[in-house]
Structure 1
Amino acid sequence: MAQTVAGTAVRQLVEAGVRTAYTVPGESFLPLLDAWEAEPGVRLVSTRHEAGAAFMAEAEAKLTGRPALALASRGPGAANLAIGVHTARQDQTPLIAILGQVESGARGRESFQEVDLAAMYAPLTGWAQEARTAEEVPSLLAEAHRAATGPRPGPVALAVPADFWTAAYDGAVPLSTGPDRRDEAAGRTDESAGRAAAHLADLLASAHRPVAICGPGDRVGRETLRAACEVAGFGVYSAFRRQDCFDEDHPHFLGHLGLGVPEDVRLALEDADLVVVLGTRLDAITAQDHRYPLPHQHLVLVGTGLPRPRHPGLTTVLEADPHDVLSALVRSATDRNALVRNATDPDPTPTGPRATVWEHHHAAAVRYARPTGEATRPGTVHPTDVVTALRRLAPDDVILTNDAGNFSAFLHRHWGFRTSHRLLAPCNGAMGYAVPAAVAAKLHRPRNTVVALVGDGGVLMTGQEIETAVRYAAPIVVLAFQNGMYGTIAMHQATSHGRLAGVDIGRLDLATWARGLGAAGFVLDDPARIEAVLTEALGCGRPCVVDVRTDPDVIAPGRRLSGLLDPGTPSAEHTAEHPAEPTAERETP
């Protein structure tokens, strides 16, 4: 008996290692949903919004390195899904989006919810196609998987007309990975990585002040990166929101290239003669608004499919897996002195000039990250105190999901990452990421503690996925930092215009709201109770939300909004208000 196109597609995805599909169900792919639900060993997660589905798929793929699946219907559903697909594009995360389309006979007639989905998704993905016949769906799906996992991992989109799913398919099932030539490919990979490692070793040996910009951790290999920097003598910066790639207490750690990095933390990058970018896109924030690398610096890109930045100086591209390159570099370093020699010290040692230099710059990074005591208004807590308390209380295998917004700067600056931690955060600054990402992380790694950090703006965008966490028994902890405004925009407005416009967020009772979704709810508005409330939340054993009431004047680490606003304006008076009335009772589960 012939299989249907839907059944064949499910078989292909399962054989390719996909185990979870995230979706808001739609009528344009009902047979695919039915076939997936009938497949043993896989999970269909019904979310509350397509943005949540896309963020969940992106987070799972980021955590596992394997493509995850997001399903959405035509028109409105596909539009809602787009934010997570854009996140996957900028984060180089493998994601497969299957989009239901109107029936094939109705295409081109402005039918109900009809959109040219391939054209819509082309700028957001590395590969976007629409099936023109039912017979070509399996081959297109195989091609999509290869594109998602190719030299530059990323999202792909396949649109399929609704009537194609029930069509019979009796052809061979195409392989998503092509012919099985793994041994031959492994040999070529080892050879390529070996050549790249030898070239990199020569460049490091001749450099005076080499630094590396690294991430993500799974792509570079956390332990391998540590060994390589010690053997080859280079300092390490973590790329924007890639802080779990390297231990921040390591003496070679130079800092996180995020937002608002002070000059003394950037000094090692400013003084470098060799800048090695390992496994990451050199995005605008990591490059500090495209300031780095400087024209005289030699840029070395190590990775596959990395976009080449507009660098006027010397650039070397080593097109090879960064983990394999670093592994080969470590294996070949039998004579450390040959690797770390430089003009000022022909016989350096692990405690020689370079190590001393990195210790000096590491001290600057530590000083920058050290918490400073700041007072807040009554009924509020300081974000720094919450982050540092959570760091003390959370287990060492914690998974953190971080949203976009000024509140997140407190985590990036004060957490103190170790490579046992995992950080899932959107490099494109997409609001609403943290809660859905936490749900996916907990579903995939149920034994790990998963904590989402989100602002009040972000939690109002996708916080309804807390209900998804409740329904699937995924006990995540959500810290919702509430200051009553879109803090990042408020800071930019205050800096540029001295006043605010359109940034107010209503007064919220997030604890009661969380209970209405079936979760536990806590209020944190007393500095003396920070540790007690966080301990309760971490141990409650079910999804929970901590309504963290913060002072709106504490707009960013070391910055006060009142100091940026023109005195006497209504905007300045706004900063004296509390973000929410403390009406909700504290819950003890």
Structure 2
Amino acid sequence: MTDTRTGGRILVDQLVTQGCNRLFTVPGESFLAVLDALHDAPEIETIVCRQEGGVTFMAAADGAMIQQPGIAFVTRGPGATNASIGVHVAMQDSIPMILFIGDVARGDRDREGFQEVDLPAMFAPLSKWSTRIEDAARIPEYIARAYSVAMSGRPGPVVIALPEDMLCDEVEALDRPKINAPAQPLCPDAMIALTDLLADATDPIAIIGGAGWTPKARDHFQQFAENIGLPVAAAFRRQDAIANDSSVYAGNLGYGPNPKLIERVKNADLVLAVGARLGEATTDGFTLITPDHPGQTLVHVHPDPNELDHIYRTDLPICADMNEFAESAALWDHDLLSFDAGAQAHAEWLEWSTPRPSGAMLDLGQCVATMRDTLSLDSIICNGAGNFSGWWHRYWHYGQMPSQLAPTAGAMGYGVPAAVAAALRHPERTVIAVAGDGDFLMNGQELATAAQYGCNMLVIIVDNSTYGTIRMHQEREYPTRLSGTDLKNPDFALFGKSFGAWTVTVEKTEEFAPALAEAMQHKGIKLLHLKTDIEQIAASGVTVSGLRNK
């Protein structure tokens, strides 16, 4: 199309061409021309949120689910700074996302105008690419490039500032066609080299999940690993990267992992990392696998060449599309490869992920076991950051991909917005937001968004009246000297009711099963307020009294 259009109209037309069917926003006067164009774009559902952090969390979660850029619009200044947390999550989680920010008019720049921020400079270290569009005629060029950058190599966020006067300009512009992410072809010699290394190994292990990981890659890699008996561990908060009932699934790395899995990784003579960056959480501060990993061979498969040898000395770097690598691995002739460790590692994980009574008045491990018995395996678990999440990381068995939406960046307040995005994207599936009390109140207002759009979702709030993770570290480092971690909470059940949710408060283990069963009989938002004892501070069995007595 080359007829005369406003910049706002051109921008929306490009989003439609690129396949965007949903975006998230808090409206701002700085991009009224875009909002006006969306009025005539039924192809795109506009989800109006209550805070810009919720906007970008939802867009990041949507991008993780659709493997295409999640789309967010916010205004300048306060809107941009609020939205920055979701950009940080998208970058550290390797999620494609595009954040559009309404900006001051071009003629007013550098006068510290109303809410003015140098947006490209602010977001440069947080994103793959941050820029500003000065000429409305070039909007198709910028949008095409934004989609390409967001999806190429290691996926990530792009931030584009939109001067409000530019969006009102009426110009002719030539539309660009839909962008398909370029795929790095797999070198056949790399598969031969990998096979030779595996043939020489006695105790190999794979660590998977991350950039470019898809359901297709998951299925093919699982087939490959099961064929040769290769133990497979999931990187931090990538537990749906392989079916948890796979005969070779060894569990997850990160915070509070199975000690037997830790020993298995330490004793491995070959580590095959596929998609994972081997970041700080997955490697326990770069100590589980050290950057130089003496005595271990590292094969690192990643879609972005910039990640290979970036931190880790890599014995065999393979730059490839995850789908192509996994499919080639599944089809490769590995008749001479066979390991017993896969079945052993899976048995160890089954033992580790089986809850046993803790004696707590409200035993979260038993609650998760009840959820496993009650809810479908294709349920989507969404959570932010905090010790509360450890019970689900350890005891929940994740099903199809996507079934885990959790920020590897460790951002609080992610669970409820992510659940809204998941409920909208997958209305046929059970969606659960799990949040701690401190975590929930960072974005609990997005229950209003869930209510507005008729989301069907279960919210579980774990309330121990403290910032539990910080309290745990405090008890370890400065025992009996509490400072800054106590919380005075509202009645979360009443809070949920104010948004039209069905709610109940649970204080004992035996109350959880009937409460869950009744909750699942209701449509819309269901909220379970779980009041727990601070003594039970971590799923690993660590207690407050135990920390103090060390």
Query: TM-score, with normalisation over the residues of structure 1?
Result: 0.88
Identify the residue that residue 582 of structure 1 maps to in structure 2. Answer: none
CA distance in 2, matches of 1:449, 1:75: 37
Match of 1:51 among 50, 53, 61: 53
Which residue matches 1:369? Answer: 353
Name the stretch that deviates more: 251-260 or 551-560: 251-260
Residue aligned with 1:228, SS? helix
CA distance in 1, matches of 2:209, 2:300: 12
2:9–2:37 CA contact under 8 A, matched in 1? yes
Aligned counterpart in structure 2 of residue 215 of structure 1, from 209, 214, 227: 209
Q: How far apart, CA to CA, are the structure 1 residues paired with 2:347 and 2:246?
A: 10
1:220–1:278 contact (8 Å) kept in structure 2: no
2:488 maps to a residue whose letter is G
Task: Answer yes or no: is 1:501 the counterpart of 2:501.
Answer: no
Distance (whole Å) between structure 2 residues aligned to residue 263 and residue 479 of structure 1: 28
Secondary structure of residue in 2 paired with 1:212:
strand
Deviations 1:409-452 (A, max 9, x none): 00011112233661110000000000010001111111111111
- Does 1:554 find its partner at 2:550? no
Measured against aligned partners, the alpha-carbon deviations of 1:344-366 in whole angstroms (never above 9, x if no partner) come to: xxxx5xxxxx21x3333333323
Distance 1:164-1:310 versus aligned 2 partners, 3 A rule = closer
More deviation in 435-444 or 419-428?
A: 419-428
8 A Cα contact 2:503 2:528, kept in partner: yes
**CA 1:295 to 1:21, structure 2 compared with 1: closer, same or farther past 3 Å?**
same
Q: 8 Å contact 1:37–1:44 — kept in the other structure?
A: no
1:348-403, Cα deviation, whole Å (9 max, x unpaired): 5xxxxx21x333333332332221211224xxx12112111111111122111122
Q: Which amino acid aligns with 2:325?
A: V
Q: Which amino acid aligns with 2:161?
A: A
User: Structure 1 residues 313, 107: CA separation in 2 closer, same or farther (over 3 Å shift)?
Assistant: closer
Looking at structure 2, the residues matched to 36 and 421 of structure 1 have their Cα atoms a distance apart, in angstroms, of 29
1:533 aligns with 2:515: yes
**Structure 2 CA distance for partners of 1:169 and 1:176, relative to 1, 3 Å:** farther
Aligned pair partner of 1:337 in 335, 338, 351: 335
CA deviation after TM superposition for structure 1 residue 176, in Å: 5.4
Q: In the alignment, is the contact (CA less than 8 A) between 2:423 and 2:455 conserved in 1?
A: yes
**Which residue does 2:22 correspond to in 1?**
20
The reply on whether 1:442 has 2:441 as its aligned counterpart is no
- The answer as to whether partners of 1:214 and 1:220 remain within 8 angstroms in 2 is no
Return closer, same or farther for 1:271/1:362 CA change in 2, 3 Å cut-off: same
- Map Cα deviations across residues 488-515 of structure 1 (whole Å, 9 max, x no partner): 0000111111132111111321111111
**What's the offset of the Cα at 1:301?**
1.3
Q: Which moved more, 1:307-316 or 1:124-133?
A: 307-316
Shift of 1:240: 0.4
Q: Which residue of 2 aligns with 1:299?
A: 298
TM-align CA RMSD: 2.0
Q: Per-residue deviation at 1:309? A: 5.7
Alignment partner of 1:277 out of 268, 273, 295: 273
Match of 2:461 in 1: 480
How far apart are residue 262 of structure 1 and its match? 4.5
After superposing the two structures, state which structure 1 stretch, 360-369 or 527-536, moved more: 360-369
Matched, 1:400 2:381: yes
Query: 1:223-262 deviations in whole A, cap 9, x for unaligned?
Result: 2121110224421000000111123333322221021225
Stretch moving more, 471-480 or 409-418 = 409-418
Q: 1: distance between equivalents of 2:547 and 2:241? A: 35
Partners in 2 of 1:405 and 1:13 — Cα distance?
36
Aligned equivalents of 1:302, 1:312: Cα separation in 2 = 12
Letter in 1 for 2:321: D
CA contact (8 A) 2:10 2:139 kept: no
The TM-score, its normalising length taken from structure 2, stands at 0.94
For 1:79, the equivalent position in structure 2 comes to: 81
> Equivalent residue for 1:239?
235
C-alpha deviation, 1:193, in angstroms: 5.4
Instruction: Report the alpha carbon displacement of residue 406 of structure 1 after superposing the two structures with TM.
Output: 0.1
Higher alpha-carbon deviation: 108-117 or 283-292:
283-292
| Aligned-pair CA distance for 1:196 | 3.5
Report the Cα offset of residue 220 of structure 1.
6.4
SS at 2:214 equivalent: helix
Contact 2:241–2:401 under 8 Å retained in 1: no
Q: Which runs of 5+ in 2 are unaligned?
A: none
The one-letter amino acid of 1:375's match is G
- Whether the 8 Å contact between 2:308 and 2:314 is mirrored in structure 1 is no
Shift of 1:337: 2.7
Whether 1:358 aligns to 2:342 is yes
